[in-house]
Amino acid sequence: MVDSSLAKRLTREIQRFEFLRGSMGALLMWLLACMLLGAMVWTISLAKIQSDRVEIEKSTFTKATQLSKAYTEQLSRSVDQIDQITRNLKYGWQTFHGALKLEDQLRQGLYPRSAQIYASIVDSHGTIVTSTLDKANAPNIAARDYFKIQQLNPDNDLRIEKPSEGGRSGRTVIRFTRRLDQADGSFDGMVVVGVEPTFLAAFTDESSLGTSDSLAIKDMDGVVLAAKMGDRIRSLPSIYRSPQVFEAPGGIRRIPGDKFVDGESRIVAWQKLSSYPLVSFVSLSDAAALAAYQPTADNYRNIAIAGSVLLLLLATAGMFFLSRLAWRKYQADEVKNTYQLAIDGAREGFYMVRALYDQQQNVVDFMIKDCNDRGALLVGYAKEELVGKKFSDLYSGEISQRVLAIFRKAMEIGFYEDEFKATRHRNNSQQTIWMFRRLVRSGHGLAMTIRDVSEKKSYEQALLKMANIDALTSLPNRHWLMKFLPAALNRARKRNTMFAILFIDLDNFKAINDTLGHEAGDQLLQEAAIRLQSVLRPVDKVVRLGGDEFTLLLDSFSSQEEVAQVAARINQKFSVPFEITEQKTVVLVGTSIGISLFPHDGNDSATLLRNADIAMYSAKAAGKGQFRFYDERFSEHGIAC
C-alpha cells in the first residue's frame, strides 16, 4: 500500500510538469545559450589577461636584455679604467726605475679618497714600496696567492682576484694585479689596484631596478665580486639558494622561484665582458613586473564575474518566463484539443494510410487501411469501397505525382497540412469543393483528417468582396482604394513614373435622383461606371467612392497631355444622354473632373486625393462639364482664383 501511494504521488508530481514537455527544447536552448555566453565572457576575459601577461613578460625580457647590455657596457668601461691605471703604473715604474711615488700622486689629487680605488706597487720580495694607503703597518704579501701567481706567470695579463678584506683599509676590496718585469724579463714585483665592490656595482640606470631586482658581477668560477640589491633583498647575502651555472657567454631565461631565497621567480639576463673574465647579471622579479598589471587583471575577472551573475539572473528569468508561456500554451492546447475532439467526430473525415516501399526502401505508393464514413463520403466513395485502395487506383498522371509528393513529404517531416480544391463526383455530376487536410506520421504510415471548408471559403470570399467591391456598380470601393493607392504610389516612385488621380463628380445627378427616384439613380450610376471603364486602359482603375463620386487611377503615363486626353474622352462619353429604362426617358449628365499628379501635386495618398477634390470643385465652379488640373492657387473650396 505504501509503495502504491508513493507511486501515485510520484506520478502526480511528474504530471505537474507535463506542460514543459513541448517547451523543453526551448528551455534547454536558452540555458545552453546563457552558458555559452558565460563561457565566452570568461574565455575572452582570461584570454585578455593571458595576452596582457605575455606582453608584460615580453616587455620584462626586453627590459632585462637592455639593462644587461647597458650594465655590461658600463662595467667594461670601469674595468678598462682600472686596467689602464695598472698599465700606467707599470709604465711609470719601469720608466723611472722605481722613482714613482704614489703618495705624491695622492697628494696631487690623482686618487681622490672618495673614488673607492686604492693603488700600490709591490717589489719582488712582497714589500709594498709605494701606495695610496698608509704604509706604516703594511704587511709583506709574499705569501699571498695572488703574489705567487704573478711571480710564477710571466704573462702580462690583468688578473682579477676574488673579494677579500684589505689589511690596511679594513674594507672588502677586489684586487686587480699586473706583473712588473726587470729588463731581462725576471720578476720585479707587481702593481695592485684595489676597488671596493660598490665601485663596480654602481649603475647609471639604477632607477630602473625594483625592490626585488638586482645587478651582479661574477668571475668565471661563479663567485660574486659585487652586487647591487633592491630594498627588499638588500639584507640577504645572496638571492640564490645555490650557485647557478650559466654555460653560454650570454643569454636570458626565467629561473623559477624555488632557486631563490625569497621564493620569487626572476628573469635573469647575463653577458660576459668581451675582454675580461667577468660576467654581468641582471635579475628582474616576475612578481614586481606583474604587480602593476594585477589591478587590471582583477578588473577583467570582476567583469567576468559580474557578467556571469547577470547571465545567471537572465537565464533564471528566461526559464521562468518560458515556463509561464509553456503553461499558458499547455492550457490553451488543452482547451483547443477538447474543442477539436468535440467537432472532429461530426465534421471531419479520418483516414489511416500505410506507405508502400520498393526493394530500395523508397516510398512508391500509399494504401488506405481504414477510414470513417465521413471520410469516405468526402471523396465520393462508400467506406467499403475505399478501404484497401491504393493511391495509384484513385489518382493518375500529374495529380497522382502531386499527391504522392505531399504524402512523401509528410512521411519525411512527420507533419503536413494544407487547403486544396477537389472535385466531388455525385449523381453523375461534378462539384468543386475546398478541403482542409492534415497529415501526421504514425509509425510506418500516416493519420489523415480532411474537412470540407467550402462554406468557410465561400464566406471568406464573400466578406472579401463585400469589403472591397461596391455592391451597386461592382467597382472597387473606397476601402479598396485606401489599401491599393499607397502601394501604387510606391511602385511609381521606384519606377520614377507619373501617376494621376481623377476625381469625378456627376453633374445634375442629385436633381435626377430626386425627380426620377432612386431606382433611376442607381441605373444611372451603373451606366456611368460602364462608360468610365470603357475609356481606360487595362492597367487603369475606376473606383466608386460613394454617391455620385468616382475616382480614376491612371498608372505610368508619359505626360500631362495624355491625362488631359483621358479627361476629355470622359467628358465626350458623358455628352451622350443616358436612357432610363423604367421611366422611358432620356437624361443628360455631365462630369466635373479634378486631377492631381504624382509626384507634382503630392507624395502621399491623402494629399493627392484632397488636391484632386479641390481641383474638381474648381472645375464645377467653372461651369460643370469641365476638367481642371490642381493648382496651388485654388482655394480649399475649389473656387478658381
Mean pLDDT on 367-376 = 85
Can you give the residue range of the structural domain that contains 141?
A: 63-287
Q: Which of 405, 438, 459 is the last residue of a domain?
A: 459
Which residues touch 409 (CB under 8 Å, ≥6 apart)?
416
Tell me phi and psi for residue 229, to 5 degrees. -110, 145
Q: Which of 287, 309, 324 is the last residue of a domain?
A: 287
> What is the pLDDT, as a whole number, of residue 570?
93
Is 343 a domain residue? Answer: no
Is 319 a domain residue? Answer: no
One domain for residues 154 and 270? yes
* pLDDT confidence band for 22 (50 / 70 / 90): low
> What is the pLDDT, as a whole number, of residue 134?
78
State the greatest distance between any 2 C-alpha atoms of the chain, in Å, as a whole number.
164
Mean pLDDT on 243-251 = 79
Q: Is the pLDDT of residue 341 over 50?
A: no
One domain for residues 552 and 580? yes
One domain for residues 453 and 543? no
Which residues touch 479 (CB under 8 Å, ≥6 apart)?
467, 468
Torsional class of 603: left (φ above 0), alpha (ψ -120 to 50), beta (otherwise):
alpha
One domain for residues 222 and 81? yes
Number of domains in the chain: 3
* pLDDT confidence band for 380 (50 / 70 / 90): confident
24-32 contacts, C-beta under 8 A, 24 or more apart: 26/322, 26/326, 27/319, 27/322, 27/323, 27/326, 30/315, 30/318, 30/319, 30/322, 31/315, 31/319
Q: Is the pLDDT of residue 34 over 80?
A: yes
Is 10 a domain residue? Answer: no
Confidence (pTM): 0.44
Query: Which comes out higher in pLDDT, residue 217 or 19?
Result: 217
Q: Is the pLDDT of residue 500 over 90?
A: yes
* pLDDT confidence band for 14 (50 / 70 / 90): low
One domain for residues 449 and 491? no
> What is the pLDDT, as a whole number, of residue 331?
65
Is 197 a domain residue? Answer: yes
Among 630, 597, 601, 599, which Cα is nearest to 493's?
599
Query: Which comes out higher in pLDDT, residue 454 or 76?
Result: 76
pLDDT in tens, 506-526: 988 888 888 888 888 889 898
**Least confident span in 96-105, 384-393, 421-430:** 421-430
Angle between helices 518-534 and 560-573 (to 10 degrees): 140
Is 234 a domain residue? Answer: yes
CATH no. for residue 497? 3.30.70.270
520, 508 in Cβ contact below 8 A? no
One domain for residues 446 and 374? yes
pLDDT in tens, 426-476: 555 566 677 788 898 887 888 888 877 777 776 666 666 667 888 888 899
Q: What is the DSSP letter of 292?
A: T
pLDDT in tens, 572-620: 999 899 888 877 788 889 999 999 999 999 999 999 999 999 999 999 8
One domain for residues 445 and 488? no
- What is d(CA 477, CA 550) in angstroms, rounded to the nearest whole number? 9
Tell me phi and psi for residue 142, to 5 degrees. -60, -25
Q: Which residue has the cell 633583498?
A: 233
pLDDT in tens, 211-242: 888 888 888 877 888 888 888 887 777 788 87
One domain for residues 449 and 535? no
| Residue 442 three-state SS | strand
> What is the pLDDT, as a whole number, of residue 2?
57
* pLDDT confidence band for 337 (50 / 70 / 90): low
Q: What is the DSSP letter of 194?
A: E
552, 536 in Cβ contact below 8 A? yes
The whole-chain average pLDDT of the chain stands at: 82
One domain for residues 140 and 233? yes
Among 208, 207, 258, 215, which Cα is nearest to 234's?
215
Which residues touch 229 (CB under 8 Å, ≥6 apart)?
214, 236, 239
Is 641 a domain residue? Answer: no
> What is the pLDDT, as a whole number, of residue 169?
66
Is 322 a domain residue? Answer: no
CATH no. for residue 385? 3.30.450.20
Among 579, 578, 534, 527, which Cα is nearest to 552's?
534
Tell me phi and psi for residue 102, to 5 degrees. -70, -25
One domain for residues 259 and 152? yes
- What is d(CA 118, CA 225) in angstroms, rounded to the nearest whole number? 17
> What is the pLDDT, as a whole number, of residue 459?
65
Among 426, 486, 490, which Cα is nearest to 452's?
426
Cis peptide before 154 (omega within 30 of 0): no
> What is the pLDDT, as a whole number, of residue 342?
37
- What is d(CA 289, CA 53) in angstroms, rounded to the nearest whole number? 10
Angle at 360 between CA 356 and CA 363, to 5 degrees: 30
Q: What is the grid cell recorded at 180?
A: 712588473
Q: Is the pLDDT of residue 175 over 60?
A: yes
Residue type at 479 in one-letter notation: H
268, 283 in Cβ contact below 8 A? yes
- What is d(CA 284, CA 230) in angstroms, rounded to the nearest whole number? 10
> What is the pLDDT, as a whole number, of residue 476?
93
One domain for residues 546 and 447? no
* pLDDT confidence band for 142 (50 / 70 / 90): confident
**Least confident span in 290-304, 327-341, 603-617:** 327-341
Q: Which of 404, 432, 459 is the last residue of a domain?
A: 459
> What is the pLDDT, as a whole number, of residue 593?
94
Q: What is the grid cell recorded at 48?
A: 585578455
How far is residue 436 CA from its own chain's centroid? Answer: 44
Is 316 a domain residue? Answer: no
Residue type at 288 in one-letter notation: A
Going by their DSSP bridges, the two strands 627-629 and 591-598 should be labelled as: parallel
Strands (E), 47-160: 117-122, 128-131, 159-160
> What is the pLDDT, as a whole number, of residue 616?
92
CA dihedral 71, 77, 82, 87 (to 10 degrees): 150
| Residue 368 three-state SS | strand
- What is d(CA 79, CA 276) in angstroms, rounded to the nearest whole number? 8
One domain for residues 407 and 449? yes
217, 200 in Cβ contact below 8 A? yes
Query: Which comes out higher in pLDDT, residue 344 or 145?
Result: 145
